[in-house]
Amino acid sequence: LPVLRQAIAEHLSGDGIPTQPQEILVTAGSQQATFLSLRGVVAAGDLTLVEDPSYRGGLEVLRTLGARIEGLRTTPKGLDLELLARAAARRPTALYCQTSIHNPTGQTMPARARAELAGLIADHAILTIEDCCSYDLTLQGPPAATLAGLVDPELLISVGTLSKLFWGGLRIGWVRASRSRIRQLLELRKVEDLATSVVDQLHAVRLLKRADRARRQRREMLNTHLSATEEAIRTHFPDWTWQAIKGGSGLWIDTHDDALALAETAKRAGVKLAPGPAFSPYDGHRSMLRLPVWHEAELLQRALHLTATAFRH
């Protein structure tokens, strides 16, 4: 609906990401936006660069497309830019990344590193798909910066969502890209889905008017639940360690153990955990675990208690 494209464009422009409605394609959540964006540019066998670890939904899309996925190590400052510069020489078709409130690490690239990344993207003309799903889930302060404004719009496709701010069940997301790219993706989208539910779109227009309030509430909830999560971990798994996050919906935890085995044990106790290899193109990060921080404290305490009990027997 034009009215929703307008509302999303205004919402992003308000965050310092100048956007025209014609640069927006509304999708059924950002998973569809990611799928369309990648499908629009990556064909089977194409070299595609990702962060390692990366969002597993993005990795699954790339595997489905038959891409040659190359994972680049991340540092506390985000994507390792030296590795990216070397990989760029092999002329990748695309880069899929998250520079702000990364899933699963919860980290945000410092401004200088993001600017350097933008420079590399420009120098090597790397078509970049930036997943901006969680950029506004900061623990403090305004939404985090993204690559928008730093990269030539012809080289950048960004995806976003209302799932994190409002509700994942709403299924409203978007692609933000140049007008010509949006026209190309609209044609691709028609094949699998003629339109996003009009009722949901109208609802989204109304919700976006309350974005500021929703962000304040989310931030409060996130901080409260994060403290409760950290407390629950310290109680049940005092050996686990993690880096403080800048925001987002999960903690990237080093269990210093075999997280796959732990997840198997937890599963038998009725608890579903997300072990590190699911977030890696190479099944790496075997000791890592992504733990959601949005659960009610009691539920999380119970889940970790069950896991710890099962693991120690």
Give contact residues for ligand PLP (rule: CB under 6 A): 29-31, 34, 55, 57, 98, 103, 131, 133, 161, 163, 168, 173
- Taking the complex as a whole, the smallest distance from the CB of residue 56 to ligand PLP amounts, in Å, to 9
* Closer to ligand PLP by Cβ: residue 92 or 106: 106
* Closer to ligand PLP by Cβ: residue 29 or 143: 29
* Separation of alpha carbons 16 and 154, rounded Å: 19
173-176/68-75 β-pairing: unpaired
Q: How far apart are the first and last CA of the chain?
A: 56
* Closer to ligand PLP by Cβ: residue 88 or 162: 162
* Closer to ligand PLP by Cβ: residue 55 or 240: 55
How many of the other CB atoms lie within 10 Å of CB of 210? 12
- Taking the complex as a whole, the smallest distance from the CB of residue 104 to ligand PLP amounts, in Å, to 8
- Taking the complex as a whole, the smallest distance from the CB of residue 247 to ligand PLP amounts, in Å, to 12
* Closer to ligand PLP by Cβ: residue 30 or 196: 30
- Taking the complex as a whole, the smallest distance from the CB of residue 188 to ligand PLP amounts, in Å, to 17
